[in-house]
Amino acid sequence: MSLAPDIPECLARARADLRMGVPVVFETHGGGALVLAAETLTPARLSELMKLPGRAELALTARRAETLKARPYDGDLARLPLPADATPQWVRALADPADDLRHPMKGPLMALRSGDATLHRLALKLAKSARLLPAALLLPLDHAAAFAQAWNLTLLPAGETALHIDRPSPMASVVSARLPLEVSEAGRLHVFRPADGGEEHYAVEIGRPDRSAPVLARLHSACFTGDVLGSLKCDCGPQLRGALGHMGEEGAGVLLYLNQEGRGIGLANKMRAYSLQDQGFDTVEANHRLGFEDDERDFRLGAELLQRLGFSSVRLLTNNPAKIEMMRRNGIEVVERVPLKVGETAYNRAYLATKAAKSGHLL
């Protein structure tokens, strides 16, 4: 076994690098590209980039491009040539919709038609998985490995990276301990840690559920604002407590607390979405303006954790049909959907209505 990091470990490094503003390098057979996240671009690094030979391109998702009226010729993304006089503010304004309404015209933006978008696609996935705005600068490189070595940058072989980036990392069960709760003294918390250094996820077990029968289960996605602060903008806090309360009453259940804040876009991006909602956009439109899909979560993770805990069949507490579908597709039988309608407020009424209208939530 080698002491060197494998691909998922290099990916974890690359995410950390991009979050700090450090570039990373993709290597292909014929060359590669230097990659910088738009969100963390500094004036110093942009000016270094512009001294290098070649023309950098800004990759944006088709969602973001649509708002900016740039043509996404590559289908799911658009590539914009970096102007010779580009500033960090120019890059930032294209990546971040915060000022779209105040400064609406950024164009006309001429997207590139010819050329290959494979590395751009990979860079956008990487930025998303680093919980950054999905926008990245790429500069083609002829000798990627030598360039990475000269600048001490993380080098990712593009082909293998593409195979790994969509795969959930294997989870290790780290620890499990008794945790008496208000809803039940027979509580237990299990902590799971992904091999790639990503977010840990938790399972709260109530009582001693029978592994051979369907278990009352909830897949809860982290919501710092709702779960911890009691935000009125969503129904997460009441749903969390309602689900645990239900399990306490039945004396058995399992709640997975998945650290997929903001439907998988991270807290900073969720707060950007909230800001856009204050400008009049709904929860789905706000995600799109930021360049994300409606929901960026990966529920395969929930199925895996249930299996790891020994469960194969659930009575699922949810209003979201996508969760049921995902469970079924990943080997967990859903014998019943148990509705979880709690916590409607004057503030979240429109949010819940949008989820029903646009995301297929059951009322």
Ligand X SMILES: Nc1nc2c(ncn2[C@@H]2O[C@H](COP(=O)(O)OP(=O)(O)OP(=O)(O)O)[C@@H](O)[C@H]2O)c(=O)[nH]1
Cite the annotated binding site by residue number: 218-223, 234, 236, 239, 261-263, 283, 318, 323
Near Zn ion in 5-24, by CB under 5 A: none
Residue spans of beta strands (DSSP E) within the chain: 24-27, 32-37, 57-61, 77-81, 135-141, 155-157, 171-178, 187-194, 201-206, 215-221, 253-258, 313-317, 333-338
Look at residue 239 and give the partner it binds from ligand X, Zn ion, none, a contact being a CB closer than 5 to 8 Å depending on partner kind.
ligand X
Instruction: Return left, alpha or beta for 263; rule: phi > 0 is left, psi -120 to 50 is alpha, else beta.
Output: left
Q: Which range in 33-41, 150-158, 232-240, 304-312 contacts ligand X by CB under 6 A?
A: 232-240
Near Zn ion in 231-270, by CB under 5 A: 234, 236
Catalytic residue among 15, 79, 272, 297: 297
Q: Are 293 and 233 in contact (CB under 8 A)?
A: no
Q: Which range in 82-90, 137-145, 154-162, 254-262 contacts ligand X by CB under 6 A?
A: 254-262
What's the Cα-to-Cα distance from 77 to each of 122, 290, 309, rounded to whole Å?
11, 13, 39
- Respond yes or no: is residue 297 known to be catalytic: yes
**Which one of residues 22, 123, 204, 223 is an interface residue with Zn ion (CB under 5 A)?**
223
Residue 15 or 270: the one with the smaller Cβ distance to ligand X is 270
CB atoms within 10 A of CB 81: 14
Residues 239, 363, 361, CA angle at the centre, nearest 5°?
Answer: 80
Residue 352 in contact with ligand X, rule: CB under 6 A: no
- Respond yes or no: is residue 289 known to be catalytic: no
SS3 182: coil
Residue type for position 209: P
What DSSP string describes 246-270? HHHHHT-EEEEEE--HHHHT-HHHH
CA dihedral 302, 303, 305, 310 (to 10 degrees): 140
Catalytic residue among 188, 278, 295, 315: 295
Q: Which range in 18-26, 159-167, 174-182, 219-227 contacts Zn ion by CB under 5 A?
A: 219-227
Look at residue 130 and give the partner it binds from Zn ion, ligand X, none, a contact being a CB closer than 5 to 8 Å depending on partner kind.
none
Element (H, E) at 17: helix 7-20
CB of 119 to ligand X, least distance (A): 27
Q: What residues line the site for ligand X (CB under 6 A)?
A: 220-223, 234, 236, 239, 260-263, 265, 270, 273, 283, 287, 318-320, 323, 355, 361
Q: What residues line the site for Zn ion (CB under 5 A)?
A: 223, 226, 234, 236
Catalytic positions: 295, 297
